[in-house]
């Protein structure tokens, strides 16, 4: 039973810089299902983060969304009872307007790669959480534990004690030890893992319908990474939240995602269920990526680890046809360098953009 | 004793807890305290502001309007030993006899050793209203005028109307020190607001604000002051002139601060916490003033502290030129204006006592500002 939450349709994000126009995202189509995790994978600069920013309508200057749309199936809670559905085109909204600001944080939360610099140094962990709650007035009502929720319902404005209680509760939920003390800690007094937990607590304090995690564990060591991923999985189950998980770590994707989109040079090249992708990758790029992972416990064959030949192309001078063709081991001359591949269904829930699977 | 022993273990963990929760500012304070020079500067300034700005009525022996027969009298000598060679624990002054040399028209004062006036501390003198509403007549020092109206103590001499110069310096300090502070508060307000907006939005807004500051900075300062001050209508009340002058001083001063704040914001806005705040649904003004501005505060405090002397000096210079404050207001600049004639320097050199007060204030501000800069810079090696 899947129900779309965010549909990105033929999205193009362009940066008009002096040397020319860079297409950071070029004709991307993907769907994020309610309550599911979509992994987005690709190398640096392939447009993963730009897609995430585009969803929140936060493309930095001089970038522009020049084509396509992002449809958000908003579900409003009316007195905590009935559900009102609303379809919003995020790209149409005023990027500084009230509606998008309600959605940001309130309905779509985001956490970042660098927990070290994602918290404002002059505010305590508790102050950050309270800010997020205060920015989206209604949210604490349906959020934190029942006993607090009752108190919160009674008042329109949170008292200091209630706000603090909410913050402590949120910190406890993300597994920060001694949350009642840590709530008063400044960012420089927290470790990297704790800061990322605080970031997650901030994002979750408004119980968003979706969390965009932009390489949330890249800056953390592996044991902390495992803890953070566990917390995200647990919390996702408890609040039925969708996650868009951006990473370049295939191992993390395998353990987190339900579905995976592989991106290359601003385009989706393959989308599949996570098992399908790892077992039965279709696109030569995905296949090459999977081959480049070292396997623990595998018998030594003496062979070198596979790498993808060539370099990432110059974004100002993209190859014609399929952008991957100069590096592709399956390159078909006269075809791949002439014709741009289209989004083809190869299996149930399995799409690929490659001429190998197209009748041309 | 038993209580003290019991309280010992209770106190230790609570102070320890405080250290764990130390904010940036408590660390700054800790570092600042260790800088002797800066602390001395700070103490001088606190002393000056308390005694000159808040309660000069108490510290000065007379009211500002108190005139006497002793015009242009030099500082009254203070004695401990009388004519008979007897030592008095309480210092005293002699009465003064005025003689006028009819050839040179100069006044000279001779001590009349038959009249002795002991200096009273916390004695009664001119009535005044403390903070404008507490009626009092106690002064830090003075001589008993009630029993003998001829008695007077002039620590730094008197002016042509027989007013105590030290009293005038104190009251003058009130306006001069306040103009620096109020003007700087306004400068901080304009400078940071415009600097943050300029740095955050960039583009056309940035261009407009930066070109405006350049335009203001390109003007030679004194002629600009003169032009603005000359535009003040002469029929305005001295108080209105004072406020307008404050506004003029801060109007000219905000450009530099705005530029520095803009530079800091340009780098801070690229930090991830600005993006994180935006993704949490914060509005632009919230990001600018709640998330980015605090990051510039340490710089702003230092720049502002080091800029206050400039404002005090600007007031002094304008008033000295006769363009700023005018009598009956008393400021250090007005006092300098009085002392700025050859005749004054020759006949009443004690009127130059204003100068050391100005110099000490400026030095104290620089000492404090320097110390703050060191304390606020977490990467400083000193």
Cβ of residue B270 closer than 8 Å to a chain A Cβ: no
Q: Could you say which of A161, A189, A217 is where a domain stops?
A: A189
Q: Which of B21, B24, B279 sits opposite A105 (nearest CB)?
A: B279
Specify the pLDDT at position A146: 42
Does one domain contain both A167 and A218? no
pLDDT at A55 over 70: yes
Tell me if A105 and B291 make a contact (CB, 8 A cut-off): no
End-to-end CA distance of chain B: 42
pLDDT reported for residue A227? 85
Q: Which of A189, A224, A241 is the last residue of a domain?
A: A189
At A106, list the tokens.
């309130």
Q: What is the pLDDT of residue A245?
A: 92
In a domain, A38, yes or no: yes
If asked whether residues A112 and A98 sit together in one domain, one would say: yes
Q: Domain total for chain A?
A: 2
Q: What are A56-111's pLDDT values in tens digits?
A: 888 888 888 888 889 888 876 555 554 667 788 888 888 788 888 888 887 888 88
User: What is the structure's pLDDT at B127?
Assistant: 78
A8 and A79 together in one domain: yes
Q: Nearest-CA distance from B42 to chain A in Å?
A: 25
- Per-residue pLDDT reduced to its tens digit, B192-233: 999 999 999 888 999 999 998 888 878 777 787 777 777 878
Closest by CA to B324, choosing from B231, B219, B253, B251, is: B231
Residue B273, chain A, CB below 8 Å: the answer is yes
Averaged pLDDT, A36-50: 87
Is the pLDDT at B291 greater than 80? The verdict is yes
> Which candidate from A112, A135, A185 shows the least CB-CB separation from B272?
A112
Q: B13 and chain A: CB distance < 8 Å anywhere?
A: no
Query: To which H or E segment does residue A20 belong?
Result: strand A20-33
Domain coordinates of chain B in residue numbers? 69-156, 168-376
Using the beta-carbon criterion (under 8 Å), do A121 and B23 form an inter-chain contact?
no
- B276: number of CA atoms within 13 Å, CB side? 32
A64 located within any domain: yes
**Where residue A151 falls among pLDDT bands split at 50, 70, 90?**
very low
Q: Measured between CB atoms, does B24 come within 8 Å of chain A? A: yes
A74 and A29 within one domain: yes
Q: Is A10 left (phi over 0), alpha (psi -120 to 50) or beta?
A: left
Burial class for B270, CB neighbours closer than 10 Å (0-12, 13-18, 19+): exposed
Q: Which of B275, B276, B282 sits opposite A135 (nearest CB)?
A: B282
> pLDDT grade, residue B23 (50/70/90)?
low
Q: Which residues pair with A89 in a beta bridge?
A: A71
Q: Which domain holds residue A170?
A: 120-189
Minimum mean pLDDT range among A16-30, A40-54, A325-339, B5-19: B5-19
B275 and A CB contact within 8 Å: yes
Chain A contact for B285 (CB, 8 A cutoff) = no
Which helix H or strand E contains A346, and what residues bound it? strand A344-347
Q: What is the mean pLDDT of residues A18-34?
A: 86
Evaluate if pTM is beyond 0.80. no
Q: Are A259 and A38 in contact (CB under 8 A)?
A: yes
- At residue A155, the pLDDT reads 40
B41-88 per-position pLDDT tens digit: 999 989 988 888 888 888 888 877 777 777 777 788 888 887 777 887
Is 50 exceeded by the pLDDT of residue A281? yes
If you search the block for the tokens 């005023």, which residue do you land on?
A94
Least confident of A176-185, A241-250, B108-117: B108-117
Shared-domain flag, residues A85 and A113: yes
B280: nearest CB among A105, A113, A189: A105
Strand pairing class (A4-17; A20-33)? antiparallel
- Whether A186 has its CB under 8 Å from any CB of chain B: the answer is yes
Which of A120, A189, A212 lies at the smallest CB-CB distance from B273?
Answer: A120
Whether A300 is covered by a domain: the verdict is no
Q: Which residue has the higher pLDDT, A204 or B366?
A: B366
Model confidence at A243, in pLDDT bands (50, 70, 90)?
Answer: very high
Q: In this structure, is residue A334 part of a structural domain?
A: no
Q: Does some domain include residue A37?
A: yes
Question: Is A127 part of any domain?
Answer: yes
- The whole-angstrom distance between A122's CA and the closest CA on chain B is 7
The answer to whether the Cβ–Cβ distance between A104 and B271 falls below 8 Å is no
Average pLDDT of span A277-301: 82
Q: Is A136 on the interface with B (CB under 8 A)?
A: yes
Mapped onto helix, strand or coil, the DSSP state of residue A79 is coil
Q: Is A314 part of any domain?
A: no
Which CATH number fits the domain that encloses residue A80? 3.40.50.300
Q: Are residues A170 and A272 both part of a single domain?
A: no
Alpha helices in B103-202 (DSSP H): 165-201
Contact assignment for B272 to A118 by CB distance below 8 Å: yes
**Same domain, yes or no, for A83 and A231?**
yes
CATH superfamily of B168-376: MetI-like (1.10.3720.10)
Token pair belonging to B37:
């020079």
Confidence of residue A39 (pLDDT cuts 50, 70, 90): very high
Indicate the pLDDT class of residue A46, thresholds 50, 70 and 90.
Answer: confident
- Quick one: A110 and A91 in the same domain? yes
Q: With CB atoms and an 8 Å threshold, state whether B283 touches A106.
A: no
For residues B24 and B294, give the distance between their C-alpha atoms in angstroms, rounded to a whole number.
11
What average pLDDT does this structure show over A3-16? 88
Listed by number, the residues of chain A in 41-60 with a beta carbon closer than 8 Å to a beta carbon of chain B are: 56, 58
- Do A109 and B276 make contact, defined as CB atoms within 8 angstroms? no
State the ipTM, two decimals.
0.79
pLDDT score of A138 more than 60: no
How many CB atoms neighbour CB B9 within 10 A?
8
What pLDDT is stored for residue A59 in this prediction? 86
Among A35-49, A285-299, B21-35, the minimum mean pLDDT is found in: B21-35
DSSP A122: T
- Chain A residues in contact with B21 by the CB 8 A cut-off are 184-185
The CA distance from B25 to B36, in Å, is 18
State pLDDT tens for residues B131-177: 777 887 878 887 777 777 777 788 788 877 878 888 888 888 888 88
- Determine the Cα–Cα distance for residues A12 and B153; give it in Å rounded to an integer: 86
Residue A344's pLDDT band, with cuts at 50, 70 and 90, is confident
Q: Does B278 touch chain A (CB under 8 A)?
A: yes
In a domain, A202, yes or no: no
Residue found under tokens 């480049």:
A292
- Using CA coordinates, name the residue in chain B closest to A207: B280
Instruction: Say whether B279 and A103 touch across the interface (CB within 8 A).
Output: no
Same domain for A276 and A222 = yes
CB contact under 8 A, A101 and B294: no
A18 with A155, same domain: the answer is no
Locate B270 and state its tokens.
Answer: 């690229």
- Report the pLDDT value the prediction gives residue B24, as an integer from 0 to 100: 67
Helix (H) or strand (E) holding A154: helix A146-154
Instruction: Give the pair of three-digit tokens for residue B349.
Output: 């050199």
Which residue among A113, A122, A136 places its CB closest to the CB of B24? A122
Same domain for A21 and A86, yes or no, is yes
| Average pLDDT of span A267-291 | 89
So what's the pLDDT on residue A124?
A: 84
């Amino acid at each position: 039973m899947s129900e779309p939450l965010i549909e990105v349709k033929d999205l193009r994000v362009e940066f008009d810089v002096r040397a020319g126009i860079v297409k950071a995202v070029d004709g991307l189509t993907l769907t994020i299902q309610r309550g599911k995790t979509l992994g987005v994978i690709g190398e640096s600069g392939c447009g993963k983060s730009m897609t995430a920013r585009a969803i929140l309508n936060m493309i930095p200057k001089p970038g522009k969304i020049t084509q396509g749309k992002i449809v958000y199936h908003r579900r409003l809670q009316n007195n905590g009872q009935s559900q009102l559905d609303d379809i919003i085109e995020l790209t149409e909204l005023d990027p500084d307007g009230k509606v998008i600001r309600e959605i940001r944080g309130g309905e779509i939360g985001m956490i970042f790669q660098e927990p070290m610099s994602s918290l404002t140094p002059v505010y305590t962990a508790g102050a950050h959480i309270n800010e997020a709650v205060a920015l989206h007035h209604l949210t604490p009502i349906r959020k934190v534990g029942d006993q607090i929720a009752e108190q919160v319902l009674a008042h329109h404005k949170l008292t200091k004690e209630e706000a603090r209680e909410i913050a402590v509760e949120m910190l406890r939920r993300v597994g920060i030890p001694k949350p009642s003390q840590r709530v008063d800690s400044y960012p420089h007094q927290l470790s990297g893992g704790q800061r990322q937990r605080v970031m997650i607590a901030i994002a979750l304090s408004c119980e968003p319908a979706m969390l965009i995690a932009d390489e949330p564990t890249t800056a953390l060591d592996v044991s902390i990474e495992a803890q953070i991923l566990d917390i995200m999985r647990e919390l996702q189950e408890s609040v039925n939240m969708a996650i868009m998980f951006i990473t370049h770590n295939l191992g993390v994707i395998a353990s987190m995602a339900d579905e995976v989109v592989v991106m290359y040079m601003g385009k989706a090249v393959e989308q599949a269920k996570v098992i399908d992708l790892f077992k039965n990758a279709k696109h030569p790029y995905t296949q090459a990526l999977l081959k480049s992972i070292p396997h623990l416990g595998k018998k030594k064959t003496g062979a070198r680890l596979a790498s993808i030949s060539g370099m990432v192309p110059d974004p100002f001078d993209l190859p014609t046809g399929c952008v991957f063709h100069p590096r592709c081991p399956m390159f078909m001359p006269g075809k791949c360098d002439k014709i741009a591949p289209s989004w083809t269904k190869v299996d149930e829930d399995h799409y690929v953009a490659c001429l190998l699977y197209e009748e041309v | 004793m038993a209580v003290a022993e019991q309280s010992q273990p209770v106190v230790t963990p609570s102070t320890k807890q405080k250290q764990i929760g130390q904010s940036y500012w408590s660390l700054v304070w800790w570092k600042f305290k260790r800088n002797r020079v800066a602390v001395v500067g700070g103490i001088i300034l606190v002393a000056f502001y308390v005694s000159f700005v808040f309660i000069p009525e108490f510290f000065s022996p007379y009211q500002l309007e108190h005139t006497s027969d002793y015009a242009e009298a030099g500082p009254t000598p203070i004695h401990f030993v009388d004519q008979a060679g007897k030592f008095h624990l309480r210092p005293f002054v002699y009465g003064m006899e005025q003689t006028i040399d009819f050839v040179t028209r100069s006044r000279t004062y001779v001590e009349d050793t038959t009249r002795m006036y002991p200096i009273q501390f916390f004695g009664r003198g001119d009535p005044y209203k403390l903070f404008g509403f507490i009626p009092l007549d106690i002064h830090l020092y003075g001589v008993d005028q009630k029993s003998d109206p001829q008695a007077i103590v002039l620590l730094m001499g008197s002016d042509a109307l027989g007013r105590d110069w030290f009293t005038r310096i104190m009251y003058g300090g009130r306006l001069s020190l306040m103009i620096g502070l109020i003007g700087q508060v306004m400068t901080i307000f304009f400078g940071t607001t415009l600097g943050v907006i300029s740095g955050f939005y960039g583009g056309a807004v940035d261009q407009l604000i930066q070109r405006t500051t350049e335009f203001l900075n390109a003007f030679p300062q004194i002629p600009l002051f003169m032009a603005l001050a000359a535009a003040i209508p002469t029929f305005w009340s001295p108080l209105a002139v004072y406020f307008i002058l404050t506004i003029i001083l801060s109007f000219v001063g905000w450009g530099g601060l705005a530029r520095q704040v803009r530079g800091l914001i340009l780098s801070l806005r690229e930090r991830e916490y600005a993006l994180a705040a935006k993704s949490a649904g914060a509005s632009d003004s919230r990001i600018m003033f709640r998330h980015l501005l605090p990051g510039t505060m340490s710089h702003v405090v230092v720049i502002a502290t080091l800029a206050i002397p400039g404002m005090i000096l600007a007031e002094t210079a304008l008033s000295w030129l006769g363009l700023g404050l005018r009598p009956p207001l008393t400021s250090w600049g007005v006092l300098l204006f009085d002392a700025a004639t050859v005749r004054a320097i020759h006949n009443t050199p004690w009127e130059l006592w204003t100068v050391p007060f100005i110099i000490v204030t400026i030095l104290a501000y620089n000492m404090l500002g320097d110390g703050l800069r060191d304390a606020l810079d977490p990467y400083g090696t000193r």
